[in-house]
Amino acid sequence: MVAKRRILLGVSGGIAAYKAAALTSTLVQRGDDVDVVMTAEAQRFVSSLTFASLTARPVYTSLWDLPERIPHIRLVREAQVALVVPATANLIAKLAAGIADDLLTAALLAARIPRILAPAMNEAMYEDPATQANISALRARGYEIVDPERGFLAERERGVGRLASEERILQALDRALARRLALKGKRVAITAGPTREAFDPVRFLSNASTGATGIELAREAALRGASVTLLLGPTQLEPPAGVTVVRIVTARELYEAALVHAVGADLVIATAAVADWRPAEHRDSKLSKSGEDLTVRLAPNPDVLAALGERKGSTFLVGFAAETDDHEAHARKKLRYKHLDAIAVNDVGGERGFGTGDNELVLLWGNDGRRELGRSDKKMLAARLLDAVEELMRCS
């Protein structure tokens, strides 16, 4: 029997709502706690009494159910995963647009837990370009979609749109729960953002990194149960809640902080874009423009990642390689001489990969281990990267 978990089950208004009752019974029988949220339309197909009887728990149908407890926030904070069976075209459209006009959509919008949708509708509705665009948008934001199957539909037609089998829905649920708990009890340190190396009080050497990738990795690791320390360089982005943030500015500050907070961690992911050099001399006052050429002598900064590799011990150490040419060859060289367990490489030619937009990563390990993580937003890539790293950690 699967260990007891807390599941938020949303039921929206389609004929397949009756199958959500059977699924609820299965979840309860295997020992899970299930909180059910029903839309007004779902109650036209199945009574809330059905779910209350199956779960022996209250069924929530309105934002005004126990408003003093703020149910749309409390429910998703107490649950480990949110699952919607069935997810109608209307619900999917509202989520894609960020509309939160009832308890279920408000809860899903507020959720920082895995969110799974099992669509069910007529084939024409499912294949309509608007529905497909909405599903694609939700996938890109981290929702898992359990695709519907081909079969007999309520309209006495055969086509794609039939709710996925209970077995497939349970598999998706268990995968999400496993990811959610995979790092429970683990200590994770992540470096993120740029460093700045001052030349005078107003000028410095730096790069275009925003720290977005490291921030999303910290957020995802915390969601998976880890105790996370984020060593964060100068950025306008806000770090996630629930993690310890150590602010740094220079490469030398990051080096010192890493030796304190990263050495001995179970997992270290070094995404920071660390300046390799710094001005050899720092001026205490601003250098005025003279119209003459200026030569600035640079001194090397300490190699933070190499230092962590030398002290790695049992830590699983993941580096990042931002390259403009011969990407994988350069990354494999770093993998070897910095004693890394894995390295994520991306093409930053033309400043691709920097900023808060999409990125594309390839994860390398060992002599020839390689996995393409694809192109996506950084939130989704963080989840894919941690999935891959967790798998490697289990095998190491």
6-181 has CATH 2.60.130.10 classification: no
Q: What is the pLDDT of residue 269?
A: 97
The residue with greater pLDDT, 248 or 358, is: 248
Average pLDDT over residues 117-134: 94
207 is catalytic: yes
Q: What is the CATH number of domain 187-277+292-395?
A: 3.40.50.10300
User: Is it true that 6-181 and 187-277+292-395 share their CATH fold?
Assistant: yes
What percent of the chain lies above the pLDDT cut of 70? 96
Residue 141 pLDDT exceeds 50: yes
Tell me the domain boundaries of the chain: 6-181, 187-277+292-395
Q: How far apart are CA 330 and CA 306, in angstroms?
A: 15
Can you give the pTM of this predicted structure? Answer: 0.69
Beta strands in 286-394 (DSSP E): 298-300, 316-323, 342-347, 359-365, 369-376
- Using alpha carbons, list the distances in angstroms from residue 32 to 48, 77, 269: 19, 16, 33
Q: What is the pLDDT of residue 354?
A: 58
Residue 10 pLDDT exceeds 70: yes
Average pLDDT over residues 340-348: 87
Q: How many CB atoms lie within 10 A of CB 226?
A: 25
Check: CB of residue 363 under 8 Å from CB of residue 371: yes
The residue with greater pLDDT, 274 or 351, is: 274
Active-site option among 90, 122, 134, 207: 207
Average pLDDT over residues 67-79: 86
Q: How far apart are CA 223 and CA 386, in angstroms?
A: 11
CA angle 240, 243, 244 (to 5 degrees): 125
Closest to 254 in 3D by CA, of 197, 304, 212, 199: 304
Q: What type of residue is 386? A: L
- Give the count of alpha carbons within 13 A of 379, CB side only: 12
Residue 153 pLDDT exceeds 80: no
Average pLDDT over residues 45-72: 90
Residue 355 pLDDT exceeds 60: no
Q: Using CA of residue 87, residue 91, residue 92, residue 95, what is the dihedral sign?
A: negative
Residue 178 pLDDT exceeds 60: yes
